[in-house]
Structure 1
Amino acid sequence: MPSTGTSSPETTATGAPRPGGPGLLAGRTVSRVGYGAMQLRENTDLATGVAMLRRVVELGVDHIDTAEFYGPANEFIREAIRPEDGVLVASKVGADPDPGAPVPLRLAQRPEELRASVEANLKSLGMDRIPLVNLRRTDAGPGVRAKGDQVVDLDDQLATMVALRDEGKIGAIGLSGVSLDVLRRALPAGIACVQNAYSLVSRDDDEILALCTAEGIAWVPFFPLGGDIPGLPKVTDEQVVLDVAASLGSTPMQVGLAWLLHRAPNVLLIPGTSNADHLQANVDAGAIQLDAETLAALNAVPSRSGNIVLG
């Protein structure tokens, strides 16, 4: 069962060096390069999923992002991650599984749905307390927008999340898919991290990142390379990224991830993959150094809006 462990700032509980160095999440030191479990739902059996997660731990990654609506990912984590690994597991609520649908999830924004989703995550992860749970809203960024009874006031949602924290079922509260105004409103509840779409080519949320940096809130971008939804620009299509990658002997994807780590000290990454070679490449991106000239060239890439609404 996932749990906390002991570690030094530079190494994990298993003694492995932290990819990207140490960062802070929900009051704990974690590797700045984490792992997103969403892709484990794609044609992955239990043995393969467990093997991938064991490799994640071996490589020094001790921050795993998951959700009940990621299919079997939670089951894999329950089977693979041991207390002595010292892995921080972060899950999320705000949507539920919807197998067979074109997008295999449906919004679940109402307070009673948030509570039910936390309970479902606790069961599938085999945990008594989830260290961090992100509330996935639909205020900003690419994706669906809430309609009808799924349009729920932030205060009602936060009241449920705070109650769950007070009950000891979750350790910390995060937010996802939020605007600057929503984050400001939520700050009194105590916010540990923000997960928004953000990349070199989609920097609409620079003001939110700045607020998170000032408040000591972890910034955990999803779609870190863009392009996961049709119409989103792709980091790896930029000529300057290709040129930097060639000069460093790295891949364009690694350059995009390294740029994020250089963007602010509170940035943590959760790149996902079900491929062991890609996992190694993501971890190796944490060691890439970008000098001032290179960063200036990358920062000159124009940002394009990532607010693509689906449905």
Structure 2
Amino acid sequence: MIIYILKKIVTFLFIICVLAQISFCLVYFVPQSIFSDLTFIDAYSAFFKQLLQGQFRLASGETLPFLDTLLTTFELCILALLVALLVGLPLGIFLGLSNINWLNATIRLASLIFYSCPIVMLATIVMYYLSAKWSISMNFDIPPSVTGSSLLDILISSRPEKLKALLDQLHYLLLPTIILAIQPSIMTIQLVSENVKNTSRQNYIKMAIIRERSPFKVLRRHLLPNSIPATIPQLTYNTTTLLFFTMVIEILFNRVGLGQWVMMAYRNHNYFIISIAILACGTVISLLTLLGEITAIAIYPLRHKEHYV
């Protein structure tokens, strides 16, 4: 298992290195590049030095906090994935085991309706009806440049009312997180229900039902360990869509992140920011995929053998 995880980490680092080379080429060869007055070697060294520092300095003197912006977007993605798992796992298991046809059909119909709704329209409608009652503006007095993650900034701060500030920040993040978690939750419900239903039809599950007296033991010992780990890597395949939706939510809620970066670059035709945004998007997608693979192996270590069959 350790060798398998190390291979995944090496693959992740290789992908990041390739993306960094592509981003450097876009930065160096575009018109009016900030490295135009440097040689190729000096520009290469300066680019990766700024990348390791997590700060990119433009020709105008403005500084782009790469790591802070990356962590801000990554924070919202992780919160949405956690909500999707908390909602999707129980409903998916219920749909996979339930024989109540009308209830199953109702849940599937509601899932299809929400899944077919464009996230821009859904977010706009929710903001229109809840903007008067719900806080959709940032209420956080600690500088965001500490870690890039507002929740981590609160946790490591020395302010006296840390719990109240954390609850206020979670209250601010709840609305965009719920909107962002709708489609991942629906995908989780569909994948979990299909895997649970297929696993429940296997012969070893039928034998376990005969041997075990309690159905909860069958569920906990046999059904879930053989169905849930196979679902987690499938969920990571939709990280590209999740990242796109996260950027849209950041633009709609005026939240600092990759979405604001891309919008600013599009308005100003700033190819430097676009190239860094490509590197940041690839990093988030690769990191979420890596975490999904490691989580699946940690839950069910024997699963990695299927990659060598």
TM (normalized to structure 2)?
A: 0.23
Larger relative contact order (Cα-Cα within 8 Å, sequence gap ≥ 6): 2
Larger Rg: 2
| Higher share of residues assigned helix | 2
